[in-house]
Amino acid sequence: MNTIYFTPGPSHLFSTYQKHLMEAMNLQLGSIYHRSNTFKNIYRHTDEQLRILMDIPSTHAIFFASSATEIWEKIILNCVDQYSFHLTNGAFSTKFYDVANALKKSPSQFAVDEGQGFNMNEIILPEATELICTTQNETSTGVQIPVEDLMMLKKKYPTKLLCTDLVSAAPYAAVDHTLMDCSFFSVQKAFGMPPGLGVWIANERCLDKANLLKDKGLNIGAHNTLESYFKNYKTFETPSTPNVIAIYILGKIAEDMNNLGLANLRRELDVKAGMLYDFAKQHKDFEPLVKQEEHRSKTVAVFNSVRPSAAIIAAVEQHHMLIGSGYGKDKASQIRIANFPATSIQQMEELINVLNTL
């Protein structure tokens, strides 16, 4: 019997995933040349469908990498001479900051406790800041930055490059890409695909910065630089041989989501998120980690658990459903439940019913 994965990534596969995979096999897409017209048309289609789905303006290009972790590195190398500024409130936003340190930059951070959101009025950037790094949805703690707050940040500091991590938020988060210089996500979260593909959305201000750094003689990397991405993008090519099949399926799933309508998908996710948080508020053994409602992620819910998470997870697994533990040091004391489009309202109901019987 199949398991329903409510884990926050890798997660349950989208209902149409396997159909598209079979079609890719029938079309022999695993063998096509990545400089062929067949591939270029695949890239073009995926680009078009993501653009429609996420309202990505023509000022931005869409690139493919292997993971968001890779993209962290490439953003810092290409967009920062010395000073990135990081809003940190959990493991992943902190890892982004750590990447800047590892790359010998001089990042600074505005850190709040895990489970906390940010008050944008409190944030004062160092004058020399080049890039503001935000994590719209902190997957480790289930804290979101309201998209309005991101806009506020950009309006307060319009000359700084602004970047946001949408790893477990895309395509749910209604980010205004006209105010976002770059953003990125992984396909194994809300798009319901297996891991192996990251997506980087960037405008030419990011490219200009990379060119400036290169002209200064800085090491901006050799593989997947913005220069090579933008150059290849003109003909819908990639710098090196990419994960062709994943790019094809991402386009197909984005098309499916467009046909379903993102507004409908969001409504369903809102309903399921409401069910999840209501459950935790009412249950004596669980409580939402995130206290402020506007900072609660709609796509990754994190609950403090009175009982050890391993016991809860094992009990739920008896019912062929899998939920996640807390992340890192909170592994034993929290559970994490993904609320992605691949699971239905009915499945979420079943999960909550099971949790209520424990």
For a second copy, the binding residues (CB under 8 A) are 2-3, 5, 7, 9-13, 17-18, 21, 25, 28-34, 65-70, 72-73, 76, 98-99, 102-104, 186, 188, 193-197, 217, 219, 221-225, 239-246, 324
Measured from the CB atom, the residue of 146 and 196 that comes closer to a second copy is 196
State the minimum distance, in angstroms, from the CB of residue 218 to a second copy. Answer: 8
Q: What are phi and psi of 219, to 5 degrees?
A: -80, 110
State the minimum distance, in angstroms, from the CB of residue 193 to a second copy. Answer: 7
Measured from the CB atom, the residue of 30 and 261 that comes closer to a second copy is 30
- Comparing CA positions, the residue from 342, 263, 348 lying closest to residue 17 is 342
Amino acid at 240: S
Measured from the CB atom, the residue of 157 and 236 that comes closer to a second copy is 236
State the minimum distance, in angstroms, from the CB of residue 67 to a second copy. Answer: 5
Please list the alpha-helical segments (H only) found in the chain. Answer: 17-26, 37-54, 68-79, 91-102, 147-156, 204-215, 226-233, 244-260, 262-282, 309-317, 345-357
State the minimum distance, in angstroms, from the CB of residue 104 to a second copy. Answer: 5
Measured from the CB atom, the residue of 37 and 292 that comes closer to a second copy is 37
Dihedral sign from CA coordinates of 187, 189, 190, 192: positive
335, 19 Cβ separation under 8 angstroms: no
Measured from the CB atom, the residue of 153 and 167 that comes closer to a second copy is 167
263, 275 Cβ separation under 8 angstroms: no
CA 69, chain centre distance (Å): 11
State the minimum distance, in angstroms, from the CB of residue 63 to a second copy. Answer: 13
